[in-house]
Amino acid sequence: MTTASNQVAQFSFEELDALFGEYKSFRRIAIGVSGGVDSMGLLYLLKQWAQDVGAAAPELYAFTVNHGLRAEAAGEAAGVAQYCTRLKVPHEILNWVGDKPSSNIQSEARDARHALLRQAAEHQGCEALVLAHHLEDQAETFLTRLARGSGVYGLAGIRKQRELDGFHICRPLLDIKKERLKAALEASNVQWFEDPSNEDEQFTRVKFRQAQQELDALGLTTSKLADTAHRMARAADAIDAWVDEIAEKSCTFHSAGPVRFDSSCLEYLPDEIGLRLIGRLVRYISGAPYVPRLAKLEGLYETLKRTDGARAATLGGVQFVLAKPLSDAVWFCFREAGRTGLSEVNVSPGDEGIWDRRWRYKAEHSCQSFRITSVQNALCGDFELEIPVNWLKTAFLTAPLIVFASGVSYMPWKKIGRTAADAAVRSKTDGISMVPVSRTF
């Protein structure tokens, strides 16, 4: 290896600490390791940094997802496990079971991978999941979203850190080129595996990757594309700060999940601010990880702006109902039940999980089994519920309901009173926790 190549391969302690230093606040972190050059590079660098930092570093725990889409995947996962044994880093292989999609494979596999990684990471007590997206990934994301016609938020690209319900998703390598990770592994004789799908031209990302040399000649280098994404992210943050102020004045949030929204604010807001406000409402109420696509969001936005238009609209699993005849501008926004209603889950003592993407339940100290459903599913819409003033009864039909085998039911978002019946409910709900997945609007 030449002197120049060796310099590229080397990461100083100062550089590693700049990449990973903020993780000292975590007790344990999970690392997603597919076996490719980027994730193996991440694992190698994190281990090197942790050794240099010593006791102040978090514990490392590695996970590899076998999607079951390629025959070689099992052997690659085993190879990652062997390398983790060398590094003395605990490692688990997670298998994606069940039917596999016939279309939109990369997107479906990504969603399944992220869900498996987070679930396993939290089970092992990890406070954060660290992923190996690098500079080229950022550039490809920018181009892919540009081709879709994305706005400011889509073009902001991949964020270095996101917090979801107290759990952190971290991508520290977004400013590092893939070739540098490869050089670091080669210098230390660390092997990695090549995924043939990374060269499959049926995938949009691969097409952009292969066109990068031509883009470089036009000045659209990966560094410049990533820089633009960073600047768009700054603009998105500024918009969000404005949206936070507007939401505080125009939205009333109920603990059961619905929101009452005064759309008169849209008359004076710039469209970009109004669109983001509506998009975040949809994400918040539905429990979806992302806001809807911009093209769909624009249609809903125009509906909510009109004072003489439709009285109801639906997007992303969220229903908007105008409060007429009370007002021409107040909308009740709530989770839509859909034609088949919301799913139910049977919970045994000790179980934990998420219901309808919106509520996290734990029965860690419960001595009884129960069922989680929606108010509408269990009581067919005919239920006794003290509706707060200026709220719509229908908006609470998709709120969660806990039902015990005895038939006793409990709405976890309501306060339990002091009557004899309430006392009986309190005794049954001891050891049961059910809280919103995230209260971040």
Tens digits of residue pLDDT in 16-33? 999 999 999 999 999 999
Task: Supply the pLDDT for residue 4.
Answer: 41
Cα 398 to the center of its chain, rounded Å: 22
Residue-level pLDDT at 381:
42
Ranking 71-85, 118-132, 408-422 by mean pLDDT, the lowest is 408-422
Q: Are residues 132 and 271 in the same domain?
A: no
Q: Bigger pLDDT: 10 or 419?
A: 10
- What integer pLDDT is reported at residue 94 of this predicted model? 96
User: Are 312 and 356 part of one and the same domain?
Assistant: no
Whether residue 199 is found in the same domain as residue 268: no
Same domain membership, residue 184 and residue 135 = yes
Dihedrals phi, psi of 401, to nearest 5 degrees: -140, 130
Query: Is the pLDDT at 232 greater than 80, yes or no?
Result: yes
pLDDT at residue 69 greater than cutoff 90 = no
Q: Any binding-site annotation on 39? A: yes
Mean pLDDT to the nearest integer, 110-136: 94
Does residue 421 share a domain with residue 387? yes
357 and 330 housed in the same domain: no
Please indicate whether residue 205 or residue 133 has the higher confidence score (pLDDT).
133
How many CA atoms, within 13 angstroms, populate the side-chain half-sphere of residue 58? Answer: 23
Statement to judge: residues 130 and 278 lie in one domain? no
- What is the per-residue pLDDT for 175? 96
How many domains are contained in the chain?
A: 3
Q: What range does the domain containing 272 cover?
A: 256-335
For residues 199 and 53, state if they share a domain.
yes
Q: What is the mean pLDDT of the chain?
A: 87
Residues 11 and 130 in one domain: yes
Residue 326 — pLDDT band, cuts 50, 70, 90? low
pLDDT tens for residues 365-423?
Answer: 778 889 999 988 665 444 556 677 788 888 998 999 998 888 888 888 876 544 545 55
Is 151 annotated as contributing to ligand binding? no
What value does the mean pLDDT take over residues 139-157? 92
Query: Is 21 marked as a binding-site residue?
Result: no
Same domain? 329 vs 385: no
Residue 320 has pLDDT above 80, yes or no: yes
Q: Which pLDDT belongs to residue 426?
A: 58
Domain contains 238? no
Residue pLDDT, tens place only, 255-298: 899 999 999 999 999 999 999 999 999 999 998 888 898 889 99
Whether residue 36 is annotated as binding a ligand: the answer is yes
pLDDT at 180: 95
With a cut of 80, say whether residue 8 has pLDDT above it.
Answer: no
- The pLDDT of residue 58 is above 50: yes
Instruction: Please indicate, yes or no, whether the overall pTM of this predicted structure exceeds 0.85.
Output: no
Residue 422 has what pLDDT?
A: 54
